[in-house]
Structure 1
């Protein structure tokens, strides 16, 4: 199993590996064809998309416009990212999400409080450092739904 590819440089190195393997097999390919293969391996539609999403900067868990799902105060949600701000050089990100449907953030049956637009500070893995009283992250992004990543 090869290490994960998180930067353009890692993707380019993988393209050089692909070229070398194909050349040894008697099927030489161009560098751009190898880059397109790497993009496909990573699930991107083409190298330009992969290159735009990959960076030599810290990994950003989401981008503005991404459709995401996850848990907010232990309640499931789906929504869209409307803002992302780097905090601390990639160690944390402030995200603002707009949920498709308001989420009731209260656990009592006799009382409700709905939230539809929320802001949270999350780490690169998509979990907030802030926790509920029983130890669950306030926010956990579970997946990006739009198929770009």
Structure 2
């Protein structure tokens, strides 16, 4: 059974069209019976099973983290552990704006004679928790561990 592109609304529309066609042919059908027949036509045991499968494949990706979650990863190549203070999906994109507060400040400078510590940072990440922005050596600014 493939549900990759069907939403619950698509399936309900199929049930409505089936019900209308059956009624026009002289065999009235209740809405719940039409839903059950649509489920069977997709190889599911019943409507509840089919609607659960459709809900999981509704093309709404889960965010890479949640507000308040403790996360680990790398910021500018330095390991961190911290808390997600804010996370919001950027409109019309697959990216999220994120604000992190590290448990311990992270020194983002790699040479010995100078230091620059950061404890609260903001950036942009994709659905995998990786920022599209890169350092001069090609490393992502933020990488959240899976």
Q: TM-score range by the shorter chain?
A: 0.5 to 0.7
Q: CA offsets per residue over residues 96-133 of structure 1, 9 Å max, x none?
A: 00000000000110000000000010000110000000
TM-score under structure 2 length normalisation: 0.60
Shift of 1:56: 5.7
Shift of 1:58: 2.8
Does residue 1:120 correspond to 2:133, yes or no?
A: no
1:61 aligned partner: 64
2:106 aligned partner: 103
Shift of 1:57: 2.5
Larger CA Rg, structure 1 vs 2: 2
Structure 1 runs (4+) deviating above 3 angstroms are none
Q: CA offsets per residue over residues 23-70 of structure 1, 9 Å max, x none?
A: xxxxxxxx8xxx9xxxxxxxxxxxxxxx9xx98633210110110000
TM-score under structure 1 length normalisation: 0.59
- Separation of aligned partners in 1, 2:79 and 2:118: 12
Extract unaligned runs of 5+ from structure 1: 1-8, 10-19, 21-30, 36-50, 144-149
- Separation of aligned partners in 2, 1:56 and 1:129: 21
> How big is the alpha-carbon RMSD for the aligned residues of Structure 1 and Structure 2?
3.3
The alignment of Structure 1 onto Structure 2 pairs a total of residues equal to: 107
Structure with the larger RCO, 1 or 2 (CA within 8 Å, 6+ apart): 1
Shift of 1:90: 5.0
